[in-house]
Amino acid sequence: MPKTPEDLMKFLSSLGIKVTTHTHVPVFSVSESRGICDHIPGAHTKNLFLRDRKDRHFLVTLEQDAVVDLKSIHHLIGASGRVSFGKPETMMELLGVIPGAVTVFGVINDTNHHLTVVLDAPLMESNIINGHPLHNAATTSIQRDDLIRFIRATGHEPLILKVSQ
């Protein structure tokens, strides 16, 4: 059973990480979030759930307006050949979320460490980073260093790479 948003908040609290969560109507894309989340300070994210031909999975987190070349990103992230989007059922299995709610916070559900977490270097220049708290009807703000600490506490070592153009 995937972790709930409440489980996520308890885990963050157990690490001494303070976050702020803003509720809003569900948003399924960056374009839908415009105007709804603009008042929330910090960098807003988009997340790509990708898989390679060896069925390895990658969660790539970028600033919402970042551009990525999906035909060449595999060279940067260490994938075996070109990547494609992961299947929704695998997304639920690994991240515990549905399409439209993909979030870096989903790594809390990857207890077997099947994911490679990639954070875009330009995103990591922001002090505050925003993501969905395991559902798309809210946005959670976290300090950059606390995000890295959270990811490591889930047993993942994030790769910080410049993957955007």
pLDDT digits (tens, 9 = 90+) for 10-53: 999 999 999 999 999 887 777 777 777 778 999 999 999 999 99
Average pLDDT over residues 77-89: 95
pLDDT in tens, 96-129: 999 989 999 999 999 999 999 999 999 999 999 9
| pLDDT (0 to 100) of residue 143 | 98
| pLDDT (0 to 100) of residue 101 | 92
CATH class of the domain defined by 5-161: alpha beta
Instruction: Give the pairing of strands 43-51 and 57-63.
Output: antiparallel
Where does 2-158 show beta strands of DSSP type E?
20-23, 43-51, 57-63, 84-85, 115-120, 128-131, 138-143
| pLDDT (0 to 100) of residue 26 | 82
pLDDT in tens, 2-20: 999 999 999 999 999 999 9
Which tops the pLDDT comparison, 30 or 130?
A: 130
pTM for this one?
0.94
pLDDT at residue 70 greater than cutoff 90: yes
